[in-house]
């Protein structure tokens, strides 16, 4: 069995932490754009060089959770922002112990789709990895 690196474990743990929240969770490996909202796109910050993961030990990783909600649902955007942030702050790694050290989020308007306007909530969480 191949080792699971902390960055991969973080993405899978975040997906697990968001189960039960009424959002579609998309991983970096999901190629297709999905127009079902609300949704959360999980990714790692650019500071992680995925090609070097097996050679480097990461002790700090930043997770980005991009939350998208229909623009006519500001209350839903606020509620989901809080729920997703709380779940990510307290997530437990499947194979590694993660501790959230810093987080931030804000609601902005996204006009990138032709037929609808969305609220985009970028949520950034920094984790300390101990192993």
**41, β-bridge pairs:** 26, 66
Question: In this structure, how many other beta carbons lie within 10 angstroms of the beta carbon of residue 112?
Answer: 9
pTM of the model: 0.86
Buried b (16+ CB within 10 A) or exposed e, 12-44: bbbbebbeeeebbbbeeeeeeeeeebbbbbbbb
pLDDT tens-digit map of 5-56: 888 999 999 999 999 999 999 998 877 668 889 999 999 976 545 555 554 5
Measured in Å, how far apart are the chain's first and last C-alpha atoms? 19
pLDDT tens-digit map of 54-67: 545 558 899 999 99
């Amino acid at each position: 069995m191949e080792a699971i690196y902390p960055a991969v474990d973080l993405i899978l743990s975040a997906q697990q932490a968001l189960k039960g929240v009424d959002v579609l969770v998309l991983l970096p490996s999901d190629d297709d754009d999905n127009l079902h909202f609300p949704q959360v796109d999980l990714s790692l910050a650019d500071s992680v060089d995925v090609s070097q993961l097996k050679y480097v030990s990461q002790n700090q990783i930043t997770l980005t959770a991009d939350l998208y909600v229909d623009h006519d649902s500001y209350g839903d955007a606020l509620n989901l922002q809080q729920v997703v942030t709380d779940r990510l702050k307290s997530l437990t790694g499947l194979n590694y112990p993660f501790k959230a050290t810093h987080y931030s989020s804000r609601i902005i308007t996204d006009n990138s789709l032709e037929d609808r306007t969305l609220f985009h909530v970028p949520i950034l969480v920094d984790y300390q990895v101990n192993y």
